Structure 1
Amino acid sequence: MIPIVKLYDFDRNPLSIDRQNQQDLRTILHNLRSSILWAIDAEEDVIFCKVEDNENNLSKSISYDNIINDLVDQGIYFYYINVECGSLLSIDENIAVVYDIKSISSFILTRPIFNLALSLIDNIGNIENQNWLSFCKILAPDSFAILKHDSHNFKNFKIHVISPFRNVSLFIDEYITTVEKQKYSDFNIHLIDDASTDGGISKFITDSRFSLIENPIRQFALKNIVDTLLRRDFGDDDIICLIDADDILPHDYVFTIINQLYNDESLLFTYGSVRVLGNYICEGTPYSIEEFSTLRKSEWKVSHLRTFRYKLFKEYQRLDPRFLQLKDLNLDFLKMPYDMALLFPLMEIAGFERIRFIESVLYEYRFHSNNDHNISREEQYRGEKIIRNKIPLTKSLNL
């Protein structure tokens, strides 16, 4: 039985998050702190927090214990229960990802983030500048909700992951494992070993969905990605994901979420929120329409996970058959930054309204000594300057 804790003040009217009243926020945070301390002392692992008096209790038709155990095992520790949101993306009949949250009436908090929540409350600083919804977003970067809802029948798209790599033998097994565990199984992984000198892949791959190309001479990521897109057999609506083979996927629902999002037929491109491996809090912000209008002059915000429909690349190839956008003055493919070189033109062709920023974290980035920004910083700066000075492509009318 999950204990119920009430974060509203019994001596006052039920609190309304929508009002964003600062006294309300003080009361909620004070009571949340007291509830977490009680749960720690009582050795409770899970608490159901009600923010308003009129909020119903947990649904008897949902097996919360099984769902929570599964999600905690995947590093997901906070779940909305009753929430008003702009959109809801179904994972199954009891689990969803929620976006554009307007208000939160109740949620479930689990032991792994009790101390994080206490730390945030104790260090929240000037209450006048704080917001209840943003506080919850820090605790719930995955944006998962457990609630009874209609589970739609989604069309399944083939997902193709392209992962060029070099000298990541210490990390690639973990990457492969997080991909193999994905609940959405209609995918292929295209691994390109770019002349590694550390032994390459240490794990023997038996999964038929994985393929491996081993380059005898280093080509660098951008050319490897373009060659894969040109040489493999992809359908127009197939989804291309770019994942570095030294990074990982944070949970088993990443490909499910991506597939569900692309059931919006107008969608051509996504980018999202990322966290550093070992951290809980994620980073990532969307472009405003004003920033997008001068994309190459704006701050780079295209965080992982980056995905696009294959037909978007085909349209880029039609507009730039010599791939001049991706090359330097000597007409050689740029060595780096590969993401900026390829994704700027794809986004320009897609247009602002057919691109989506994904709030929930779908990617974990690994810092290590062989990261490009550590060993090739000057080459990155050189490439970025060339890329930002290219003439932008215009939105395509053919997509």
Structure 2
Amino acid sequence: MTDKNKPSGTEKDTAAPASSKDTATNASDKATSSPSHTDTKVSDKTQAGDKPSVAPSSSAKETQPAKPSKPTASAPVKEKKGGRGLAVLAIVLVIALGAGLYYHGHQQSMQYNAGIATLSSQVSELKTALEDSDKQAQAAVQKATQDTQVLIDQQGKTIASLQSALADVKGRRPNDWLLAEANYLVNQAGRQLWLQHDVLTATTLMENADQRIAELNDPSLTPLRQAMAKDIQQLKAIKRIDRDGIVLRLNSLQQEVDKLPLANAIIPEGEAVVPETVSDNVDDWQQNLKASLSDFVSQFITYRKRDGDVVPLLTPAQTFYLQENLKAKLDQAITAVYRQNGRLYAESLKAAEEWAERFYNQDAKITESFVSTLKALSQQTIAVSYPEALESQLLISDLLADRLRRDLAPLSTGESSQ
């Protein structure tokens, strides 16, 4: 039984080399893969009952039976464990590499974001500076434009004044001075007429202007002379009022107010008293007695019956107010004369006349003269209608302006050609 169970020498020889080759192959794989494979091999050998440090001898191999089932089972386990370790190591390496790449990418992204933020702030600052510079440039240009426009306007006015002065000097005929003088006289006549209502001075000025036009001896000025003749005739037709004479007479009346005598108290007329007579009839003794008593009493007391109101005398204060009010009415009449207000003039003189007739003695000569003067002055007309415009004033102004434009036209053409 022992011989049957023991393997033969050939079997030992064939089994031993196979196990040693497998052991050497596994050892080389474990050495190249990782230390954990070596630990696994040692533990495997220890479990199998072999010593790791001493190799089995040929005699021992001959005495011990070969166990082909164990070597064939341990080789696939060792190969499976080695592949799993490589996979784990590969996964770890991939995870570590991914983490490193992610960290590196994150750092690069942060640096890029910081750089972009810095560039954005710099761009904003440059944009703000550019806008400020643009605004300053526009303001400077606008100011320069305004200054230039002001200078252009001033130069234009200077050029116009120089042209006018040069036109006055260049080729000016002596007759033009007479036309300008006539224009001045006509304008002065209009001012005297409408501002001061001095018809006499206005007429004199118009006649002098007509003389200047006549000295020109220019047939083209005939329409102008016709208009001036019409204006002169119209001025002469205006009613002349001696305002100074009226004012002087009113002033003299004011001075006579204090000298006017006041009227006495006005008492109505009493009834006529018929004296009673004594009759010869004895039967009328009562009537005769009464008549005798009345005649006796009348020698001491007189009784008269009057119908009507009695106007009392004025007090000194009332007399003063009356005089001042009368002077004020005369002042209003003087103001109305200068303003040519006929209504105010008539009302003032009418009130003064009524007061003089009511409160002053009409039998006195001074009062009679005062009232008659007031009545005469109230008949005076102080309102005068003046012409609204002088026809010759517009014609001579247009004529003078036309001649000035004709003198300036050659000057402007010569300057533009230069």
Normalising by structure 2, report the TM-score: 0.13
Of Structure 1 and Structure 2, the greater helix share is in 2
Larger radius of gyration between Structure 1 and Structure 2: 2
Structure richer in strand, relative to its length: 1
